[in-house]
Amino acid sequence: MTALDLSSPVAVVGTGTMGQGIAQVALVAGHPVRLYDAVPGRARDAADAIGARLDRLVEKDRLTAADRDAARARLTPAGSLAELADCALVVEAVLERLDVKQELFRELEDIVSEDCLLATNTSSLSVTAIGGALRHPGRFVGLHFFNPAPLLPLVEVVSGFATDVTSATRAYETARAWGKTPVACADTPGFIVNRIARPFYAEAFAVYESQGADPATIDAVLRECGGFRMGAFELTDLIGQDVNESVTHSVWQSFFQDVRFAPSLAQRRLVESGRLGRKSGQGWYDYRDGAERPEPHTAEKRPAPAYVVAEGDLGPAGELLAMAREAGVQVREEDEDNGTRLVLPSGGELVLADGQTSVEFRDVVYFDLALDYRRATRIALSACQDTSPQVLAEAIGFFQALGKDVSVIGDVPGMIVARTVARIVDLAHDAVAKGVATEEDIDTAMRLGVNYPLGPFEWSRRVGATRVHDLLEELNLRDPSGRYAPSLALYRHAHAADSREGTP
C-alpha cells in the first residue's frame, strides 16, 4: 500500500495550533488542503495564519515564492463538513474529549467515500475507543504529530484494535511522503513517547520529594551528566505543569493506576497553586522580571587523590581509568571477582550507582551514570551523614581532577541519571514484549519525540541489561511498592546476557 497521491485532497478538522501545523505539513507536501472548524470564521483565520507562516518560510529561503503561491492556491477554508466529501484523508485535531471526537467521525462517515482514510491526532485518548463509534473502524488510525508539527519530524502511526493493516500502512507511507519520520505502534496508553517518557519526570520529582537534591541541581545533572537536552523541571515548566501532569494522570488511569506511572504529589501541589511554568510566570522556577535562576549545587575545590585502586570491571564507567591517568592520578588495577569500584587512599570507595545506599556501607561514595564520562561536564556524588569527610573530599577531588563540576546529593539509591535511565529501559523492554512497537521504532521515537541522547535500547546496550536489571532489583528492595520491580521482559534479556557471558 503506497502513500496518498498528491492530487488527493486532505482535510484537517480543528484549526488550533496543532490543526494548523498538520495542514501546513500536508500543504507544503503538495496536497490540496481543506480546513474546517465548527466555530464560524476560524477556518478562514487559520488559512490566513498558515499563509503568513509560508511568507516567513520564503523570507528564510526555505520555500520559493512560486511554491508559496501554489500552496496558497491549494488551501481552502470549508464552511461545512459536507465540503470534505471528496477528501482521501481527514485528520481531526479537535478537543481532547472522547464524545466530541466520536460524534465528529460519525458525521464524517456519512459524508466521505468508503475508501477515505480517517485519522485522529489524539495524544491521550484510545484510538480504539474513538474508532469504536464507526461502522467501518478498519479505516480509522491514529496520526499523532508532535508540536510544532511543521518542525518536529516524528509521527506516531497508531493502529487501533480494529484498524486494517492496509489503512495503517497507507497512513505510515503518507506521513513518510510528507517528509516525516513515522513509527508504528499499537494502541496503548501514551502510545510510545508518552508511555516510555514518564520516568524521566517521575524520577526527578521523586529525588526532589525525598529531599535528595533541589530542582536546579537535578536538572544540571540530567543535562551535563546524562546528556539530556533539558532537565525534567525546566522541561515541564516549558510544557506547562498542568499539561504534563494531565498526560501523566491519563496514562496512570489508563493502566488501572499502575504504580509505575503514578503522578507526583509535588507536581500536583504546583498545579493547585497555579504555578504552571513559563506561561504563568512561575513553576519550579521563577520567570518573572528580575527573578534570578537558582544555581545547581557545585562542590568547592578539593585536592586530587594521589592514586586510586581499580577493583573489577567498572562497566560503562571504565573510561574513567584512562581519564585518571591522563589527569596525573596514578591508577592501580586489581582483579576482583566481586569488585567493581575505585578504592581511594583513605580506604573509602567510589562505586557506580547500583541502587544501594551509602548508609548501608562504611565510607562508600556513589557516582552517577553518565552518557559519556569524557564529555560530561558534571558528575553527581551520593553520600550519607556517616561518610568520612576525608573520603568524600577525595571523591570530589578525583572527579574535579578529571575536569568535572561535582554535585553532592543526598543518599539517594540509584541517584539521578542511573535510576531514570534504568526505568526508561525497563518500560521500553516491556513495551516491545507486549507488542507495542519494535526496538528500532522505540529508539527512533524517543530520540526524535523528546530529544533523548540515546534511545532506550541504545542505553540498554551501553549500560548492559544485567546491570539495569540488578539496579532496579536493588531499588525494589528499598521501595517494595512495585514502582521499581523489573519487568519480565528485562529479566529475560538480563538472563540471556548472563548466559552468553557464562555467568552461573
Ordered per-residue pLDDT tens for the chain, 504 residues: 699 999 999 999 999 999 999 999 999 999 999 999 999 999 999 999 999 999 999 999 999 999 999 999 999 999 999 999 999 999 999 999 999 999 999 999 999 999 999 999 999 899 999 999 999 999 999 999 999 999 999 999 999 999 999 999 999 999 999 999 999 999 999 999 999 999 999 999 999 999 999 999 999 999 999 999 999 999 999 999 999 999 999 999 999 999 999 999 999 999 999 999 999 999 999 999 999 999 999 999 999 999 999 998 899 999 999 999 999 999 998 876 556 899 999 999 999 999 999 999 989 999 999 999 999 999 999 999 999 999 999 999 999 999 999 999 999 999 999 999 999 999 999 999 999 999 999 999 999 999 999 999 999 999 999 999 999 999 999 999 999 999 999 999 998 876 666 544
User: Which amino acid does the sequence have at 211?
Assistant: Q
Q: Which three cell numbers stand for residue 351?
A: 562505586
| Residue that has been written with the C-alpha cell 478498519 in this structure | 138
Query: So which residues are the catalytic ones?
Result: 123, 144, 156, 194
Cell (9 digits) for 218: 537535578
Nearest of 60, 49, 44, 40 to residue 21 by alpha carbon: 49
Three-state secondary-structure class, residue 213? coil
Number of CB atoms found within 10 A of residue 238's CB? 13
- Residue in 395, 119, 122, 403 with CA at minimum distance from that of residue 250: 122
State the Cα torsion 216-219-221-222 to the nearest 10°.
Answer: 180
Task: Tell me what pLDDT residue 504 has.
Answer: 46
∠ CA 279-282-288 to the nearest 5 degrees?
90
Q: What is the CA radius of gyration of the chain?
A: 26
Q: What is the pTM of this model?
A: 0.95
d(CA 395, CA 402): 11
Q: Where are the beta strands (DSSP E) in 347-459?
A: 349-352, 364-367, 378-382, 405-409
